[in-house]
């Protein structure tokens, strides 16, 4: 029997306060294991990049690991690992985050490290040039020299959207990266890395009063700066099909991706949740609609997937975003046959709805995935920070499993009706390197 409602709500308490410099702080104590996680989410991502500086948010993430006022280069890694911890960072469309997971006794060490680079990262010509080279190599490995490297995450938005914020290459062009200067990096830091533009979340084995004292000790001295407005990245919904073709000489087989604009993940969350479950129903597991139709029954595809959000996490993004379906198919199969089958399966959900039993299976799997992610102190702390930054409520992270379990078949049917074949963005990838 699948648990529903309150059984799926995470009961971890959340405490919050705001420092005088504007830094929002979320504390999520859990004394069950002697581990803590510390993360800082900055409200700046790929969609904040100005024209001529594509890839800058990701480049600056790299620069933030090159030392700070009281932490020499490479010392951040040494201090975390010497304490038995791990660390990393990541760049997304709407935020950049940094995090550590360590034994509980090393909490102050992690807070010091994050506060020091929030106050004064080492933005030097040497560090910037070095990290530009690192990012360029990353692009070569992950995009330019890999089959399907840009498909569809970098290519589909270029036809699905209109604004520079939503269409540009968030990994960055080599021209833009190479022309970046220390002045650009310093301005980017001053503009977007203000404490008032960030959320600090601390979770795990901590005493709330002591954790607050330590946070105030290290972060309160960070200078307050003006906070930029959150950019409006929403766009009018399309009214026609948008279509393009790309060629990939490394791809072993052709592929096609479809993208549909979906409801606002923040302003219309309840409707959006129906879309999230529709994507799962279409493609997750051997029993999913598109897996059965495309791969097993009609044998039109060798692989398929559907997901919401550019990076596959439907809850880390603001408006505007897409539900994407991508299909890799044999060269002998025509792309129109693939498109026709996808539209037909979505149309069936739109016309007939979805049986409650089928939806319940999808809900159980999706809720279980969220709960598994929240099992670890780090996963839970990251989720709280992301929910606080994107949605304004850290507690939402603990409620999502229950809210997904409460979605009705009618909501999923409404979501399917929104995937109109006449408003899809379609990107066809042709394998031009001699695919058989």
Digit-coded pLDDT (tens) for 79-102: 999 999 999 999 999 999 999 999
Q: Would you give the distance in Å from CA 92 to the centre of its chain?
A: 5
Cα–Cα distance for residue pair 87/81, rounded to 1 Å: 8
Structure tokens belonging to residue 135 = 């990012």
* pLDDT of the residue at 433: 81
The residue length of the chain stands at: 436
Q: What pLDDT, in 10s, does the model give residues 263-286? A: 999 999 999 999 999 999 999 988
CATH fit for domain 15-220, picks 3.40.50.10190, 3.30.420.240, 3.40.1160.10, 3.30.830.10: 3.30.830.10
Find the DSSP H helices in 193-257.
208-219
What is the location of CATH 3.30.830.10 in the chain? 15-220, 242-431
**pLDDT at res. 4:** 44
Q: Domain 242-431, what fold?
A: Cytochrome Bc1 Complex; Chain A, domain 1 (3.30.830)
Query: Distance between CA atoms of 338 and 142, rounded to whole angstroms?
Result: 27
SS3 call for 86: strand
Beta-carbon count within 10 A of 388 CB: 23
Q: Are strands 24-29 and 198-204 parallel, antiparallel or unpaired?
A: parallel
What backbone torsions phi and psi does residue 40 show, to the nearest 5 degrees? -120, 120
Cα 180 from Cα 177, distance rounded (Å): 5
Given this model, what pLDDT does residue 403 score?
A: 94
66-75 pLDDT, tens digit per residue, is 999 999 999 9
CA distance 353 to 108: 53
**Mean pLDDT in residue range 210-218:** 98
User: What per-residue confidence (pLDDT) applies to 8?
Assistant: 67
């Amino acid at each position: 029997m699948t648990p529903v409602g309150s059984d799926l709500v995470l009961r971890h308490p959340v405490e919050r306060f705001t420092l005088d410099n504007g830094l929002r702080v979320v504390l999520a104590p859990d004394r069950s294991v002697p581990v803590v996680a510390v993360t800082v989410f900055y409200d700046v991502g790929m969609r904040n990049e100005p024209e001529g500086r594509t890839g800058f948010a990701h480049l600056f993430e790299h620069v933030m690991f090159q030392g700070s006022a009281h932490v020499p280069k490479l010392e951040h890694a040494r201090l975390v690992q010497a304490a038995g911890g791990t660390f990393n960072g990541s760049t997304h469309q709407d935020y950049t985050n940094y995090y550590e997971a360590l034994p509980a006794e090393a909490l102050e060490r992690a807070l010091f490290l994050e506060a020091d680079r929030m106050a004064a990262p080492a933005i030097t010509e040497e560090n910037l040039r070095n990290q530009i080279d690192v990012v360029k190599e990353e692009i070569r490995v992950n995009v330019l020299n890999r089959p399907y490297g840009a498909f569809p995450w970098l290519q589909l938005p270029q036809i699905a959207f209109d604004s520079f914020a939503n269409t540009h290459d968030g990994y960055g062009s080599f021209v833009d990266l190479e022309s970046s200067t220390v002045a650009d990096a310093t301005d980017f830091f001053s503009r977007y890395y203000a404490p008032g533009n960030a959320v600090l979340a601390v979770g795990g084995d901590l005493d709330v009063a002591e954790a607050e004292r330590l946070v105030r000790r290290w972060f309160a001295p960070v200078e307050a700066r003006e906070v930029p407005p959150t950019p409006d990245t929403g766009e009018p919904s399309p009214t026609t099909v948008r279509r393009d073709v790309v060629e990939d000489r490394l791809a072993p087989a052709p592929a096609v991706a479809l993208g549909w604009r979906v409801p606002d993940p923040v302003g219309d969350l309840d409707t959006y949740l129906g879309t999230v479950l529709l994507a799962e129903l279409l493609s997750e597991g051997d029993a999913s609609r598109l897996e059965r139709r495309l791969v097993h029954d009609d044998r039109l595809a060798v692989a398929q997937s559907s997901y919401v959000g550019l990076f596959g996490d439907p809850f880390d993004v603001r408006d505007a975003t897409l539900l994407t379906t991508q299909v890799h198919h044999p060269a002998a199969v025509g792309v129109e046959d693939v498109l026709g089958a996808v539209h037909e399966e979505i149309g069936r959900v739109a016309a007939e709805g979805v049986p409650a039993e089928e939806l319940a299976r999808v809900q159980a799997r999706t809720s279980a995935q969220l709960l598994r992610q929240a099992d670890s102190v780090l996963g839970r702390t990251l989720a709280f920070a992301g929910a606080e930054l994107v949605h304004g409520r850290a507690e939402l992270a603990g409620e999502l499993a229950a809210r997904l379990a409460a979605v009705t078949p009618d909501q999923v049917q409404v979501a399917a009706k929104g995937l109109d074949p006449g408003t899809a963005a379609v990107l066809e990838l042709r394998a031009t390197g001699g695919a058989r």
